Structure 1
Amino acid sequence: MRAVEAPQILFLLIASMQMLHALSQFIKLQINEIPSPALQARNSRHVGSGQVVRLRGMNRKFGEGRVEVNFGGVWGLVCPDKFSTNEAQVICRQLGFERGSTDYSIVSYYNALESAHYSLNGLACEGSERNIFHCRRSSNGKCSMPSHAVFVRCRLNYPSRCSPGGILFKEKCFHFIRDLEYSFDIAEDHCLKIGGSLAVITSQDENDFVSDVLSTLNENIRRLKPWYIGGRRQEGSWKWQTNEIVASSTFSKWDPKGAKIHRNQDCVAMWNQRKFGNDYFFWDAMNCRKRLPFVCQVPAYHIDCIIGDGKTYAGNANVTENGLPCLPWTNYKLKNIPLSSKQLGNHNYCRNPNGASKPWCMVDEKVRQNCDIPVCSKGQVVFDVQDHEECDKDETICTGTKMYHSLQIIPLCGKKCLQSRNFICNSFSYDVSEKICLLSSEQARTGGANLTNVDSSDYYERIRPKDQEEKRDAFKVRLVGGGPPWEGKIEVSVGGKWAAICDDGWNISAARVLCRQLGYPNALRSWIGMSNDRNYLMDDVKCTGKERYLNECLFNGWGKHDCGPNEAAGVQCAVIERECFPKKFKCNSSHCIDFKWICDGEDDCGDGSDEDLVKCKLPVEVRLVNGSSIDRGRLEVKFYGIWGTVCNRDFTVHDAAVVCRMLGKQGVPIIEPYQKYGSGTGPIWLQNPGCSGDEEELTRCRIRRWGYSKCSHDEDVALYCKESVFSTVAPKEILSSTECGRTFVSFRARDPRHGYLARVVGGFEVRHGAYPWTAAIKLDNTRHLCGASIITPFHLISAAHCFEDVPDLSLYSVVVGDWDTNAHDGTEQKFGIEYVSFVPGYENILKDDIAIIKLKSKNDSGILFNKYVQPICLPNADAAYPAGMKCVISGWGSMGTQNPRRLQAAEVPIMNPDTCRDPLVYGNLLSERAFCAGYLQGHVDSCKGDSGGPFACLSDGKYYLFGVISWGDGCAQEYRPGVYTRVRDYLTWIKQTINS
């Protein structure tokens, strides 16, 4: 079928709008009401998204990418012929970036659209249009630059108008919460706590904007999760859940085929299922109890505006142009910064106390960043970034802004503007009554080499000769003098003038920023000492490596340097993506696809080379490499005939047990610290294999998808299939031959670094009976105090400090078999405490924090063991505590504001003792009979109320009590892991105490 011609599209669009308007006259929508899927289906004439312009490409950031246009129902490229800043500005504004573009480039495209063609040729815009279809264009003719596309970077809407993480669109800040997955109600509460609601989307451009952000956030575009937005069905009608009044609107973006809404699917989510050839997030109905990421919206802040360089700015912007939160000026980390101003105080608002180019703030002890604050309107006779040269003898500085006073003020200001070195001065404003002149980089219309009065006597701007009309003041970068285009000496341009960068301070962090700005994924190396004349534009460039553009880094100022003729900086950028392997799979057709698309049932290569049935059915092999013996090393897996690695993140002893079994090793698997045996190459085949531990091979585990991973090779699994050093049965004198460490409810705690915010901090709610040795110690029969672990029908192990504050044991009780603390589960057993034994010499929580609880008998009996109540095993005296081995912590500890109702659990790794004793962590506070577990970056930890609970390690199908939850500095804080008492060191005392 041939494509629909433009006149037909226009006719269909007008007819659709007329029908929609007519239908709305008969179907009256109420305030906050959403058109139902059935209503949308009646109005839809095609299955398209309605989006007409988008940015796409691999490894791109939001707001940048290859320009694609939907014309005649088909997505295609924009021909680069005669493409200029004007077209880039219009495209970005059409996409919702009100400030237009920062730059553009012409790039060779690869792995682009399967049947790429040019939708627009001969595009010519004046720059003021709001839509590229308002520009002059041609849909016919050949492009003189085949195999090339236009790549644009748009200027983000003011980040300072949103709290950190928010993305501004019109007057809303959208927050995309992907690290927390909540039910609809809890997601709604989270949005309310940050001052907003779940997203309300009432227009095509708004849905396009949110969809594009979601597409950028999700690398795995084929199996995306839905994202909650603020729609919900109530009493048969769909409504936006917000305290704001949403005017009735006929807009909706349900699944184009008609959403199939089943019973209990009452909440709206955006979902990209890649249906109908659309890379777009449509709406669908979800069960409101389903845990999903979600999108919040918060009203944008009113942060005022800046006059000139912002020295007089007194607004409340406290987020930098990179979206980072500002530190308070009184922060102890900033005490050595030599600043003094009445503007600074006990706040973290952006200020300009030292005459910088614009307001700024500190984001770290040694890192400052500029704030992106709107410039006041022309009616206020103020402009953008100011010049900062020293005043002449007949000039003064007053009222917080640099201003020049002179008997000949206008000629002086004109001279200052034309001779400005720190920035490109394009205009100045002169107030006759105040005799004040402000220099500016902005101008009301395009100008050039001389200054002329414009419209009134108080405003002057630069005019350009005709031969300079094409010169732009935008910041640009390029590489020259190299062999291939991705390496060479760096040159930058401001105002059409190209010059080198001095190599003083030039390093790999700056090189990475430069390469990303040029469109490459990374930098391989930075060079210094390259040949150059004395023409330099930048010197002492200092980058953190996270900046989007090189001119966001700190440097001395345009043209200010002390460099000689052979001190130019250079770079070699990475081009690995063009070569496919090892990051991507190379098809026989030379296309590159993600490894995760191999053997997924779809011909992604177009030639079937990713779906070879013989290779898909090849047996999976495993091996350990780079180790000192065949039973230890870096884990590698062979799938589809290609050797790759496995990510340590979410890899458990259950997964390790299956690997060891495949290697013919029946010993105890020990997950060693990653990178112990070096980093691998090729694909990372697995993350979280999902094994229960009983499988014969990996293919029988619950593998989400081969090749799906968010890891790097720095996180490759290191494994040791070691012979068992654990007790296989509990000591008879303790348990009287009763089996220990068994569970009868299937549940596997996860490593929840990217999961819900819960307690055990960062943990997960478990099934009833999952860890049946976990007991609760209560005070006054009601208040949860600590945890404990069952070891015999009359004995439990807990932390000694749990009993320090209240010596009266009659006030304590122990509950076993509990799960939901706010409900009667029918499995609880409650006991009083007969006595508590401490280690001789116990003084405080820092040493020997372990205690044995003896229960009072009830009906001449102790604990009755069943499916929900079981003892845990004790380890042998020579049990190993290898760094990286992950074990389970469980309890009802604090969730931050309150304790959870139901038992929580999480899997955390044992840390290297040297790491824990580092001065930045706990130093000498860690005793010789304690150990740390968790992550230096925080997120997952035990917390208040978990003390005394179990640190349980699985071996040979049984759990062993390796540790007792003891103490920590805060909960889940950075560099503050949890500290646990090592049970192995107290076995003699435990047995003597129980048998005495």
Structure 2
Amino acid sequence: MSSSVLTTVFSSLLFTAEFSVRLVDGTTSCSGTVEVFYEGEWLGLCTGWWNMMEVKVVCREMDCGNVVSVSRGPLVQHGRRRVRLFRCSGDESPIRQCVIRVKPGDCIGGYYHHVTCSESVRLVDGAGLCSGRVEVKSNQSWASVCEADFDRQDAEVVCGELGCGAPAALQGGLYGEGEGQTWDKEFQCKGKESLLLDCDTSDRENNTCLPGNAVGLTCSEPDDVRLVGGGSRCAGGVERYDQGEWRTVGAEDWDQEDVAAVVCRQLGCGSTVSVLPGNTTRGFGVSCYGSESSLRKCSKIYDLLPGLTVICSESVRLVDGAGLCSGRVEVKSNQSWASVCEADFDRQDAEVVCGVLGCGAPAALQGGLYGEGEGQTWDKEFQCKGKESLLLDCDTSDRENNTCLPGNAVGLTCSGKKPFVTQSTLFLTWSEEYERQYRCVLVRK
């Protein structure tokens, strides 16, 4: 073997071994404060931009199943070197595939990070942290579970163990087939156990699991966000349940609209009507793109940031548009959202919707403008006068025709709110010159 090849192989081995991760001072091997091995020593991990995607990489590298929770770890000693983590997508295998930098000095917020992973159960190949194919750890390897050996009560335990909400869907083949072995027992949970492996099991009647029968599970997102002090569940100061208590949530000025959009979506409260900063709080901050389904998927920042007061529209929203003031009109009906047919919605109805959302006057109104909804269609015709404060305050009448042909789900563009800056219109890049001061440079597309 040539010297150049030996050098390449040796360098590759060094790089592979240079970064590794561990969890220390936890209650199990799959919980604790995150540390990364670099240049011969274990360094604490801290970052101002820390979300479930980064934590997912840590749990995967530790072979510890799904993320259960992330919380604030010990206080950083002043001047001590630490690792900072950037731009993890959540799909990396070792943590070194993320962008890692080592800097002296304090962390943003001044704390390291503590992680808890599920250890013995995980959901894989799903659309998020609370969905996927059920796999159980068996003899240090992961095994799929056959649909016949897993029922609703078993699913309740798994969803609870992973910090997710109640089971929403349970079906064989829902998230594909596992490549490894199949779990050889039938679970017999009562639904109240804290861990899946605390459940009773019995021998399977049939040792084979036919293709398409590896059980897939979708849990609902946890109800860990609320709006308080606003007179309804869709208005008030933003709080999130964290580390055993409800804590105020804040955001940077340029990120407040995106955070508000995620809060309204997670609560099923329609579109954002307004968002106002409150007092600076020692809760925690978040940074969102605006498209996330819950705050759990946004980046988490332990720092002093203004708390947010959010008002959501509650019963009407615009979806699949280019911004907060355009999209397909949907109305809340029996706890689900329904599209509105173009024939049942006119300029005066549009004036009310744009007004409710604080979006100025209607600019465009057309069927199919923002695609078709996947759910039901609103079964009434609106008869607004244009001055009502809420769409559901308008008079309605029964529709002459109960069908709404494809392409007729009404889309609306309002003239718009006062311009604001969001992550959807800006790239966020780090400037090396100012990084030690934790300043960002915003570069227009």
TM-score, shorter chain, exceeding 0.5:
no
User: What TM-score do you get using the length of structure 2 for normalisation?
Assistant: 0.35
Between structure 1 and structure 2, the one with the greater Rg is 1
Bigger relative contact order (CA 8 A; separation at least 6): 2
Q: TM-score, normalised by structure 1?
A: 0.18
